[in-house]
Amino acid sequence: MKRGFLNSSKAKVRPLGPELVSAPILAVEKPAISSLEEPFQSMKFPIGKVEKLDLPESSSSLKFVERDPRSGSMPGAMTYTTFPFGAADNEPVTECFFFSGSKEVLMNKGPGFPKPLVHPATPAFTMKAVPGKGMGLFSTRALKMGELILSERPLLITARGVPTGLIPGYTREMFLQHSLAELEKCVAIAVNRMRPENKAAFMALANCHTEDGSGPVVGIIRTNGLGIEGLRPGATDETRRYSAIPKDISRLNHSCSPNTTPRFDLDSFGYQLRAVRSITAGEELTFQYVDVGCSAAERNEALKPYAFVCACPACTDAPASDARRAAIKAYNPSVLLWAIDRKLSDDSLINECLEQLARLTTEGLEHHGAYFDATKAIMEAYICLGDTQNASKWTAKVHKQVWAHRYEKEISEFRLSELLDPANTAAYEKHPFWRMRVDPNPTTAMYQTLAALAGPNNIKTLPGGQTFMMFPGPPL
């Protein structure tokens, strides 16, 4: 037993029952099957419909053993567990079906984990039917960019596949069907472990896979699941990502110009849904099911598994929208290159980024990483120019984008909170880009900046993902 949570008062509220651990046989010998083109270990199901086949009775390779919930994962076995461990009856819980190792990620977080969910001060959404889309969520009041709409623990977090032994004579299609059936058996157990109200909410979710080989539970997962990473340290294959099924966020319909974005907050073990631009009262809330930075044709191809054709304005006026999205994709601001290239005007980068932001706003893509990049580049350009008034204004815009992937890292690494005050020159002087554009010797300034960023080992990965390796350069 690792940490204090099992000794806490919370842990004593409910008696700890046995927990199930499934032990699929992993070390099964693989007979050669010529029609199985992809390595079966990937357990990746095609994203579209799976042909429904009547399979001969096959013996399942799954073995179930009961284990004490206070124990960690059984090596090589998959674990059913309910999180938070020993939760009180009124605390939101998530049923988990994990590969080994994930339970330990949660056990090792220590006391105080998970933090309570933070909710908006007043309710911000309601659910109602949307013609042609089933149910959907709508705002009940005006919302500002970055505002929290709802927080929730997922009903379920599950592996997307279970290791299944190959069955001699099976074709690829039969094997897929068999794998889906094995997964259905496994996840149905997790669903049956849910509290009655959670199980009812889960089973009431949309399922666009009723006609194919997915079982009822797998169909719901494939319709509503959100990819979630970070619970399997070290895994690089398909098993690194689980599917999470939240109750309310699952009711959001797709838009190629979404006005919200969900983000999983590990500290509270919950999803937070935020507005990515201003939203008026009564507007439908939407998010992107697939990457919407590409063309309408590519988006609708990727959306096929969800069994609808998107009729949002970007899809109905595809040529103009496609051109803008291609321009957005093609532009990647480089503050460093602009800062040292004195042939460029002082405002060229800022103007380019303003154009990029205009394209993103026209397309309704404020949730996109490119929006964060362009906002941050303008903030950094003003820091390069030594203009704290404008830099602080743009820092505030970066600060609003709490949903952004790199938000926390950027805020802490470059101490952006201190830059909200234009008079805090001490903080500005510590920023690696401070006055780089107005320095009399920009090349030296750039090397100094890179050296500072590179640190003692001369290698540094910037928040944007670029890696710098310092070679001996001009004397510093």
Give contact residues for ligand SAM (rule: CB under 6 A).
Answer: 132-136, 205-206, 208, 223-224, 250-251, 253-254, 306-308, 310
Minimum CB distance to ligand SAM, residue 220 (Å) = 9
CB of 309 to ligand SAM, least distance (A): 7
For the CA atoms of 53, 59, 61, 66, the dihedral, rounded to the nearest 10 degrees, stands at 120
Q: What is the nearest approach in angstroms of ligand SAM to the Cβ of residue 27? A: 37
Q: What gap in Å lies between CA 400 and CA 394, rounded to an integer?
A: 10
Please answer whether residues 449 and 380 qualify as being in contact, where contact means their C-beta atoms are separated by less than 8 angstroms.
no
Report the residue number, 134 or 230, with the smaller CB distance to ligand SAM: 134
| Smaller CB separation from ligand SAM, 132 or 475 | 132
Residue 256 or residue 402: which is nearer to ligand SAM going by CB?
256
In terms of CB distance, is 163 or 258 closer to ligand SAM? 258
Helix segments in 364-406, DSSP class H = 369-384, 388-400
Paired sense of beta strands 253-254 and 284-287, if any:
parallel
Residue nearest to ligand SAM (CB): 134
As measured in angstroms, the least distance from the Cβ of 297 to ligand SAM is 16
Cβ distance to ligand SAM smaller for residue 250 or 392: 250
Omega before 114 within 30 of 0, i.e. cis: yes
**What share of residues in the chain are helix, strand, coil (percent, to 5)?**
35, 15, 50
Do residues 187 and 221 touch, judged by C-beta distance below 8 A?
yes
Instruction: Give least dist CB 258 to ligand SAM, A.
Output: 10
The token pair that represents 293 in the structure block = 């930075």
- Please state the closest distance from residue 312 (CB atom) to ligand SAM, in A: 7
Would you say 250 or 388 has its CB closer to ligand SAM?
A: 250
DSSP 327-390: HHHH----HHHHHH-TTS-TTHHHHHHHHHHHHHHHHT-TTSHHHHHHHHHHHHHHHHTT-HHH
Whole-number minimum distance, CB 48 to ligand SAM, in Å? 12
What is the number of helices (H) and of strands (E) in the chain? 15, 16
Of 53 and 307, the one with the shorter C-beta distance to ligand SAM is 307
Report the phi/psi class of residue 324: left, alpha or beta, with left for phi > 0 and alpha for psi in -120 to 50: alpha
